[in-house]
């Protein structure tokens, strides 16, 4: 399957791409299907069944609320985050859901939102939506939220690709080795190769416009995070830190980022904290490639753009394209889903992508870029996904800041070399996949092990 940069970077809402964005897209698709098939007016009841990780951490990740909003006809890239609370409050008070935004049906949360302690075979993030006419089942569909906001319908799992439905890319690659060979054979940088592939879907002007729109959304998220203060929702009473840190850094005067490593790290930390605090609060953001790891790429790119006097829109485009190349490799050959391979698939992939993007705009050769991505991912192997209380707060917010700094360090190390190194990016990605397969389910976004349990014991 050909993967576009716009599959990896999608505008949505927090706190989770696999647990919020994906389920909202699934139920919005369900409501849309009912309308298109002329079934909407016959529906008298809707039931949502969440399985596996979607059930285990569904409330903490706002999966239940996302499903309700999707059934109301809302999409994650279009909904106003400020409208969420009023919509949910009204539904809970009236026990009435406006299906597809137009057809009222009775909805009793305790009866119709079912969090089940069982798994479906294909993926741990599974959900079934079923609607009824009286007591008779009218239509049912099972969806899998496979990470980064991607959803797969059960009917698509074993279905062959439709003839002519697959986009033919001029430079198709499924491994880092193939990517490097294509760059060398055609004398292209990684971002140039990716741009040529993106133009198989849309004109170059639309690619640039779309990427700059993504960047604008990332920037807005950072700015919101620098401005908003208070306690994050969910019950852990985690205080926002970004706004206070921002004031502290501003009081230091113009940052001497070249002469002070500590100052540089603090600004990178700041940008990552700002994004992930907004994510935890359910604000507008960009999957990069997931919400749980959404602060890493914006932090590194925001830092580069803010403190490099020569930075321009072309750098944004090149950064995101190069980052996406590595994201494609991670998704094709392992996973970007914390529920599938642990946090190494989310934060690890994002760290590797950020390193690739920064290496590209700093003039790295393709082998140096691949080396930077490999270093960044290699040192996230085995990272578990164990959110305390099922909330994308502890350790997730700080983890993004640490990984953003790690991505920059990986680039610095790679640029000091010539691109030759012992272990390839392909091998590290395969190791991430195998490590995820070996990892106990308690450490894969279920909040049943690791820090999630340690917090309770304390």
Q: Is residue 168 part of a domain?
A: no
CATH number at residue 337: 1.10.4100
Q: Is residue 163 part of a domain?
A: no
Last residue of a domain, one of 99, 124, 154: 154
Q: 229 with 330, same domain?
A: yes
Q: Is residue 407 part of a domain?
A: yes
> How far is residue 93 from each of residues 86, 107, 108, 282, 360, measured CA to CA in Å?
11, 11, 10, 22, 52
The runs of H, that is alpha helices, within 284-365 are 296-307, 313-333, 338-341, 347-361
Residues 6 or more apart whose Cβ sits within 8 Å of residue 53 = 18, 19, 124, 125, 339, 444, 445, 446
CATH number at residue 78: 3.30.1330.90
Q: Is 154 exposed, middle or buried (0-12, 13-18, 19+ CB in 10 A)?
A: middle
Q: In this predicted structure, what is the pLDDT of residue 60?
A: 87
| 296: alpha, beta or left? (left if phi > 0; alpha if psi -120 to 50) | alpha
Residue 83 near residue 16, CB atoms below 8 Å: no
Angstrom distance (rounded) from CA 238 to CA 268: 20
Q: 322 with 274, same domain?
A: yes
Q: In this predicted structure, what is the pLDDT of residue 1?
A: 76
Residues 6 or more apart whose Cβ sits within 8 Å of residue 136 = none
Residue 70 near residue 31, CB atoms below 8 Å: yes
Nearest to 53 by CA among 122, 141, 7: 122
Q: Is residue 162 part of a domain?
A: no
- Beta strands at 45-51 and 113-115: parallel, antiparallel or unpaired: parallel
Q: 42 with 184, same domain?
A: no
Q: Is residue 7 part of a domain?
A: no
Tokens of 305: 């753009």
Q: 124 with 180, same domain?
A: no
Looking up tokens 């919020």 gives: 20
Angstrom distance (rounded) from CA 69 to CA 74: 5
Q: Is residue 5 part of a domain?
A: no
- Can you say how many angstroms the Cα of residue 131 is from the centroid of all Cα atoms in its chain? 29
Angstrom distance (rounded) from CA 341 to CA 347: 11
- Can you say how many angstroms the Cα of residue 326 is from the centroid of all Cα atoms in its chain? 14
Q: 324 with 392, same domain?
A: yes
Q: How many CB atoms within 10 Å of residue 94? A: 12
Last residue of a domain, one of 123, 154, 185: 154
Q: In this predicted structure, what is the pLDDT of residue 458?
A: 43
337-368 confidence digits (pLDDT tens): 999 999 999 999 999 999 999 999 999 999 99
Number of domains in the chain: 2
Q: 362 with 217, same domain?
A: yes
- Can you say how many angstroms the Cα of residue 229 is from the centroid of all Cα atoms in its chain? 23
Q: 124 with 184, same domain?
A: no
Owning domain of residue 397:
176-457
Q: 149 with 180, same domain?
A: no
Angstrom distance (rounded) from CA 419 to CA 21: 37
Q: Is residue 166 part of a domain?
A: no
Q: 82 with 210, same domain?
A: no
- First vs last Cα of the chain: how many Å apart? 46
Q: In this predicted structure, what is the pLDDT of residue 58?
A: 86
Q: In this predicted structure, what is the pLDDT of residue 253?
A: 59
pTM more than 0.95: no
Q: In this predicted structure, what is the pLDDT of residue 254?
A: 55
Q: 222 with 260, same domain?
A: yes
Q: 368 with 251, same domain?
A: yes
186-218 confidence digits (pLDDT tens): 999 999 999 999 999 999 999 999 999 999 999
- In this structure, what are the phi and psi dihedrals at residue 72, rounded to the nearest 5 degrees? -75, 0
Q: Residue ranges of the chain with pLDDT lower than 50?
A: 162-165, 255-259, 457-458
H/E segment holding residue 373? helix 366-378
Task: Tell me the DSSP string of 116-185.
Answer: -S---SS-SEEEEEEEEETTEEEEEEEEEEEETTEEEEGGGSSPPPPTT-SPPPTT--SSHHHHHHHHHH
Q: Is residue 34 part of a domain?
A: yes
Q: 137 with 186, same domain?
A: no
> How far is residue 452 from each of residues 20, 28, 166, 342, 396, measured CA to CA in Å?
20, 31, 42, 14, 12
């Amino acid at each position: 399957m050909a993967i576009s940069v716009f599959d990896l970077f999608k505008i949505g809402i927090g706190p989770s791409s696999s647990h919020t964005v994906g389920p909202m897209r699934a139920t919005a698709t369900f409501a849309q299907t009912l309308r298109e098939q002329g079934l909407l007016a016959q529906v008298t009841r809707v039931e949502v069944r969440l399985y596996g990780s979607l059930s285990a951490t569904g409330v903490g990740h706002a999966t239940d609320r996302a499903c309700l909003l999707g059934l109301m006809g809302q999409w994650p890239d279009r909904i106003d985050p400020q409208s969420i609370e009023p919509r949910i409050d009204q539904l809970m008070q009236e026990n009435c859901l406006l299906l597809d935004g137009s057809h009222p049906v009775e909805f009793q949360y305790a009866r119709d939102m079912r969090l089940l302690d069982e798994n479906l075979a294909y993926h741990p993030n599974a959900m079934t939506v079923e609607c009824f006419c009286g007591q008779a089942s009218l239509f049912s569909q099972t969806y899998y939220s496979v990470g980064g906001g991607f959803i797969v319908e059960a009917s698509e799992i074993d279905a062959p690709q439709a003839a002519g439905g697959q986009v033919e890319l001029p430079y198709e690659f499924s491994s880092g080795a193939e990517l490097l060979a294509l760059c060398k054979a055609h004398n292209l940088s990684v971002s140039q190769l990716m741009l040529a592939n993106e133009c198989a879907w849309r004109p170059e002007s639309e690619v640039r416009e779309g990427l700059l729109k993504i960047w604008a959304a990332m920037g807005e998220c950072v700015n919101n995070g620098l401005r908003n203060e208070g306690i994050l929702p969910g019950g852990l009473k985690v205080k926002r830190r970004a706004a206070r840190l921002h004031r502290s850094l501003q009081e230091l005067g113009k940052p001497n980022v070249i002469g002070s490593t500590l100052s540089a790290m603090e600004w990178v930390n700041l940008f990552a904290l700002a994004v992930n605090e907004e994510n935890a609060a359910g604000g507008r953001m960009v999957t990069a490639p997931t919400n749980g790891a959404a602060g890493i790429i914006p932090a590194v790119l925001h830092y580069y753009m803010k403190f490099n006097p020569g930075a321009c829109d072309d750098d944004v485009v090149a950064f995101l394209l190069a980052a996406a190349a590595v994201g494609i490799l991670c998704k094709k050959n392992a996973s970007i889903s914390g529920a599938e391979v642990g946090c190494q698939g989310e934060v690890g992939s994002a760290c590797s992508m950020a390193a690739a993007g920064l290496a590209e705009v700093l003039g790295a050769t393709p082998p140096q870029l691949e080396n930077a991505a490999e270093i960044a991912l290699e040192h996230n192997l085995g990272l578990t996904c164990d959110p305390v209380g099922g909330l994308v707060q502890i350790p997730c917010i700080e983890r993004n800041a640490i990984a953003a700094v790690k991505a920059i360090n990986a680039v610095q190390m790679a640029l000091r070399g010539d691109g030759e190194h012992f272990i390839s990016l392909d091998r590290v990605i395969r190791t991430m996949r195998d490590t995820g397969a070996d990892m106990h389910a308690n450490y894969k976004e279920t909040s049943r092990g690791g820090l999630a349990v340690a917090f309770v014991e304390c």
